[in-house]
A = this chain, B = another copy of it.
């Protein structure tokens, strides 16, 4: 720790490069040579630090899923009104996705192609905070303000609305082009609208019993 180097160390440079390449191309599509190029080092160094391709891929996967849920946990355990929690959660997820737009597609691909990794995901990310969500929801439902819904359904629906457009980004580009609109404009609008859409889905309208 004494005398910190200006440049990040080689191991981190490799891991960062591997992160970018694996997320773009998937584990099986990525080449060690391309990672080495992107890291600005020789191919042999990847093996020096990470032994083989599988271990390097595992390290990237763990780093990606490690920070999936902690922010959510904090938000739903706070003491804001439920609808503010939802808005904060949606905003937080959009921020994360803008910083890692390839993440949803990557995680979907990896889990489909290597289902065994779901175990590593759970251990590394911790469970999604269903209990905290359910507690908040049940209060609204009991008060007659919301339609009944399980926390799992609400959570999955929220993730669907937020993550799918990023995962399917090339297809979304196609949609926006038909619209004469930019992809960024569409995402910006959905960032604002998604929380309200979610809330309209669960709120009872005033005329309902």
- Chain A interface (Cβ < 8 Å from any Cβ of B): 24-29, 102, 105-109, 111-113, 115, 118, 121-122, 127-128, 130, 150, 152-153, 155-157, 159-161, 163-165, 167-176, 178-179, 181, 186, 189-190, 193, 197, 200-201, 203, 205-207
Chain B residues with Cβ below 8 Å from A203 are 200, 205
Question: Is B159 touching A168 in the complex (CB atoms < 8 A)?
Answer: yes
**B111 lies within 8 A of A193 (CB):** no
Give CA–CA (A161, B171) in the complex, Å: 15
**9 interchain residue pairs of minimum CB distance:** A205-B205, A160-B164, A28-B29, A109-B109, A206-B207, A164-B164, A111-B170, A105-B112, A197-B201
Closest to A68 in B: B171
Tell me whether B178 and A130 are in contact (CB under 8 A).
Answer: yes
Q: In whole angstroms, how far apart are the Cα atoms of A150 and B197 in the complex? A: 14
26 contacts between A and B (CB under 8 A): A24-B112, A25-B28, A25-B113, A26-B28, A26-B29, A26-B113, A28-B29, A108-B167, A109-B109, A111-B170, A112-B167, A118-B171, A121-B174, A127-B174, A127-B178, A152-B181, A152-B186, A153-B190, A156-B165, A156-B172, A159-B164, A160-B161, A197-B201, A200-B201, A206-B207, A207-B207
**Chain B neighbourhood of A153, CB < 8 A:** 186, 189-190, 193
Query: In the complex, are the beta carbons of A161 and B161 less than 8 A apart?
Result: yes
- The distance in angstroms between the C-alpha atoms of A203 and B181, with both chains bound, is 25
Min CB gap A106→B, angstroms:
8
Chain B nearest Cβ from A117, distance in angstroms? 8
Across the interface, name the chain B residue whose C-beta is closest to A119. B174
Contacts of A205 in B (CB 8 A): 203, 205-207
- Neighbour of A174 across the interface among B106, B122, B164, B193, CB < 8 A: B122
